Amino acid sequence: MGVVLVAATDLGVKAWAVNGLQDRVISLGVVDLRLAYNPGVAFSVGAGAPAWLVLTVTAIVTAAVGVVAWRTAAASTNGRLAALALVLGGATANLADRAADGVVTDYLRSGWFPTFNLADTAIVTGAALLVLSTLRQPAPATPSENGTIGAR
């Protein structure tokens, strides 16, 4: 459900941005709402590559994230599930956006950082939460010298 919520929210905001930001910029202080299109992936990497190649690689990576989320869901904590939902929801939204015309719609501009969108924010936040949840996991139980199982 979280994946659908993240993807739907991002795609809705992108649709609004395409219609509402064509010839204008809305200043929000720290960021401006400014329409841009990215033919590449993060930081416009691969912007010169053929659109079909970027779409294919993006689809493979998104599918891999989906498989990891599905295979680990039963053993995951709520925090880890939320993190996976953010990453997968953001990746799915960007993939769906790119599938339409070969580019991803961006609309958040800070002036000192490349223009991005809500899906990008979800992916980065989810990835950071995954790293934090991994660092906070207790060490796995290991056999001790006397044969009993205990934590390291």
| Whole-number Å distance between alpha carbons of 73 and 70 | 5
101 in catalytic set? no
Q: Is 134 helix (H, G, I), strand (E, B) or coil?
A: helix
State the sign of the Cα–Cα–Cα–Cα dihedral 10, 86, 88, 105: positive
Q: Closest by alpha carbon to 44, among 134, 89, 106?
A: 106
The reply to whether 106 belongs to the active site is yes
Helices 78-101 and 118-135: crossing angle in degrees, nearest 10, is 150
Which residues belong to the active site? Answer: 106, 120
